[in-house]
Amino acid sequence: MEKGHLRCDANVSVRLRGAEKFGTKAEVKNLNSFKFLRMALDHEIARQVALIESGGRVVQETRLYNPDTDETISMRSKEHAHDYRYFPEPDLVPLRISDAWRESVRERMPELPASRRKRFIEDLGLREYDAEVLTATRAMSEYFERVVAAGGDARAAANWVMGDLSALLKQENREIEDSPISAQHLGELVALIAQGKINGKIAKDIFPKMAVADEAPEVIVKREGVESISDEGALGKIIDEVIAANPKQVEQYKGGKQQVIGFLVGQVMKASRGQADPAVVNRMFKEKL
């Protein structure tokens, strides 16, 4: 190698991925620079694609690259292994692997990403995109499964892991193995929402507080008194007050303007400091009006 220059003397074998059923690889010679290497690859890829698409077959051969014409030319064919003059290495003893050994290795292997993605989709009901994201790393998929085990709702768990938790990890420049919120506690948060003990808004509020000392969400909920209000007796009083204070909107709803109910529910949420269960409030408004 000359000072200040990098020389390239190489042969390259080109075979299109997935094209095994159409033919075999072609070996290209006369490549003495990285520029010619790139040009030869570009040409050979285009040649093989055109050949296969026209119904032809890529033969196993050695081709010469001509940089003046930017093309490869067939030199000689090599149909069988002995044409390459392969010979056994005398210092390497034959290696024979038993079926029992292969099976023991297979049993010790962890679940591979493709199998785990399939299971997430078929058994947990995740979307294909979510399954792809959650199996990007082994640590991510294992964390997610622990959240599901503690929370019960796979789709909700996926949303929290890919959404709020991923944003928190990015903000703090952490990997999921170093998450400030344990999978157990995030699963408990998902469970509290599913049980109606807190609503989504409250969950969003206490999530960053969980990260401070990895506290259990129920501890924070009880300490701050933000448990969701689903008692219809308590909610009924607030709803009656909202109806009395907003006669115009009530008449609009009764007149067929259904979207007004969103405003009325919002007033209840405001009066209850976000603790009212929106689903219960929505149903009670419809019953009352």
Residue 92 belongs to a domain? no
Give per-residue burial for 34-73: e unless 16+ CB within 10 Å, then b: eebbebbeebbeebbeebbeeeeebebbbbebeeeeeebe
In tens, the pLDDT along 188-208 reads 999 998 887 888 888 898 899
Strand, helix or coil for residue 207: helix
More confident residue, 246 or 287: 246
Contact between residue 184 and residue 146 where contact means Cβ atoms under 8 Å apart: yes
Question: What tens digit of pLDDT does each residue of 153-173 get?
Answer: 999 999 999 999 999 999 999
**Residue 253 belongs to a domain with what CATH number?**
1.10.10.410
The answer to whether residue 91 sits within a structural domain is no
For residues 146 and 181, state if they share a domain: yes
On whether both 156 and 54 belong to a single domain, the answer is no
Is residue 97, in this structure, part of any structural domain at all? no
Name the DSSP letter for residue 39: H
Of 67, 84, 101, the residue at which a domain comes to its end is 84
Residue where a domain terminates, one of 69, 84, 99 = 84
Residues 238 and 219 in one domain: no
Sign for the CA dihedral angle at 67, 73, 79, 85 comes to negative
Flag whether 94 is in a domain: no
Q: Are 195 and 277 in the same domain?
A: no
User: How high is the pLDDT of residue 7?
Assistant: 40
Regarding whether 72 and 17 lie in a shared domain, the answer is yes
Q: pTM for this one? A: 0.56
User: In one letter, which amino acid is 49?
Assistant: V
In a domain, 280, yes or no: yes
The more confident residue out of 251 and 148 is 148
Question: Are 217 and 125 part of one and the same domain?
Answer: yes
Asked whether residue 219 falls in the same domain as residue 238, the answer is no
Comparing 280 with 149, the larger pLDDT belongs to 149
Domain that holds residue 255: 232-288
Confirm whether 261 is domain-assigned. Answer: yes
2 located within any domain: no
Residues 18 and 60 in one domain: yes
The verdict on 30 and 47 lying in the same domain is yes
How many domains, the chain?
3
Which of 46, 68, 84 is the C-terminal boundary of a domain? Answer: 84
Same domain, 133 and 189: yes
Place of tokens 């007050």: 241
Q: Point out the least confidently predicted range of 18-27, 133-142, 279-288.
A: 18-27
At 75 the pLDDT is 83
pLDDT band, residue 150 (cuts 50/70/90): very high
Residue 108 lies in a domain: no
CA-CA distance, 266 to 117, in Å (whole number)? 39
Same domain, 138 and 200: yes
Question: Is there a single domain that holds both residue 132 and residue 217?
Answer: yes
CA distance 118 to 115: 5
Integer-rounded Cα Rg, in Å, for the chain is: 33
